[in-house]
Amino acid sequence: MLRAVGGAGPVMIIGGAEDRFRDKVILGTFADLAGGADGNIVVISTASSLGDAATQAYRELFLGLGIGAVMGIRPEERTEADDPAAVSALSEATGVFLTGGNQSRLTQVVAGTRLGDAISNAHDRGVVLAGTSAGASALASHMVAFGRPGPTPKHRMVTLAAGLGIVPGVVIDQHFEERGRIGRLLALVAQSPSLLGIGIDEDTCAVVTADRVLHVLGRGAVTLVDGSHVKTDAYRGKGYRPVMVSGATLHSLPSGYRFDLRGRALLTGPDALEDGEAST
């Protein structure tokens, strides 16, 4: 079971537009991992341009899923993210949820502040973290700041920034199928072959457990792009032209499949998700 794996908490990387009206497979899993009726979820809506409406929508959802307590915080400046009040909100949290919006706004306010440290500390002590869309991108060490869509990798089609660093060694792209982002993930991995590229479709979630196993949940697929053996001319980048990427290894995994992030390989055999959460 996800929560039983180890010291650090599971990290739920959600591709955006997760189901909020029907089975709520992903949000229900998060609520469950956050402790249900005993749970205390903090929603961080800094990424969103909707203000408190974003917090309120998730608050109602999580209360509807049986969570005992839900609070929202929304620092808009780094000084607010360094305020001890924001930090103390996380000390009792059993789950932290990062909304969608603009991931650069989220990291530019939160990364490297006391709140950023508090999120990381919560993760270390076993709290489940979830981020959707922009909140998903921000969970990685390396983050897509912005870029262009399209399946063909091109020079300068994507710009990288530092994320919150909860999941190291990866770069995450969301709304992956819906916005046609395979090209920029290939370009990223060609440029930075130490990073594993993770693309997540809408209403789909990659749950990374403390043993560095990625479990797929939800309606779409999680795409993994491994550049370990790539040959490329990315270092010669000029203009907005196609970049040569040869030998990338690609995995497209639907719900129920697992991937070993350390070994960069599909896992077979019994799933650790023994309560069947991932087998929709």
Exposed/middle/buried for residue 201 (C-beta within 10 Å: 0-12, 13-18, 19+): buried
Do the Cβ atoms of 16 and 172 come closer than 8 Å?
no
How are strands ordered across the β-sheet holding 140-147? 158-162, 140-147, 167-173, 196-200, 221-226
Give the C-alpha distances (Å, rounded to integers) separating 43 from 31, 100, 226.
12, 11, 32
Smallest gap from residue 101 Cβ to a second copy (A): 23
Beta carbon nearer to a second copy, 125 or 241: 241
Do the Cβ atoms of 201 and 177 come closer than 8 Å?
yes
* Per-residue interface string for the shown chain with a second copy, residues 91-130, x marking contact by CB under 8 A: ----------------------------------------
| Catalytic member of 175, 215, 255, 277 | 175
Beta carbon nearer to a second copy, 117 or 178: 178
Placement of tokens 């992903």 in the chain? 26
Beta carbon nearer to a second copy, 32 or 226: 226
Q: Is 181 in the site for a second copy (CB under 8 A)?
A: yes
Q: Is 192 in the site for a second copy (CB under 8 A)?
A: no
| Catalytic member of 48, 104, 133, 137 | 133
Strand-pairing partners, residue 14, are: 132, 205
Beta carbon nearer to a second copy, 189 or 210: 189
Q: Is 182 in the site for a second copy (CB under 8 A)?
A: yes
- Whether 251 is a known active-site residue: answer no
Q: Is 176 in the site for a second copy (CB under 8 A)?
A: yes
* Per-residue interface string for the shown chain with a second copy, residues 196-235, x marking contact by CB under 8 A: ---x-x------------------xx-x-x-----x----
Do the Cβ atoms of 241 and 154 come closer than 8 Å?
yes
Smallest gap from residue 248 Cβ to a second copy (A): 5
State how far the Cα of 103 lies from the Cα of 160, in Å rounded to an integer: 11
Q: Which residues, 237 to 256, sit near a second copy by CB under 8 A? A: 241-255
Smallest gap from residue 9 Cβ to a second copy (A): 27
- Whether 277 is a known active-site residue: answer no
Smallest gap from residue 264 Cβ to a second copy (A): 10
Do the Cβ atoms of 243 and 259 come closer than 8 Å?
no
Q: Is 177 in the site for a second copy (CB under 8 A)?
A: yes
Give the C-alpha distances (Å, rounded to integers) separating 58 from 21, 99, 192, 201, 227.
12, 9, 35, 20, 36
State how far the Cα of 117 lies from the Cα of 122, in Å rounded to an integer: 9
State how far the Cα of 246 lies from the Cα of 183, in Å rounded to an integer: 13
Q: Is 152 in the site for a second copy (CB under 8 A)?
A: yes
| Active site amino acids | 133, 175, 202
Residues engaged in binding a second copy (CB under 8 A): 150-153, 176-177, 180-183, 186, 199, 201, 220-221, 223, 225, 231, 241-255, 257, 259, 266, 268
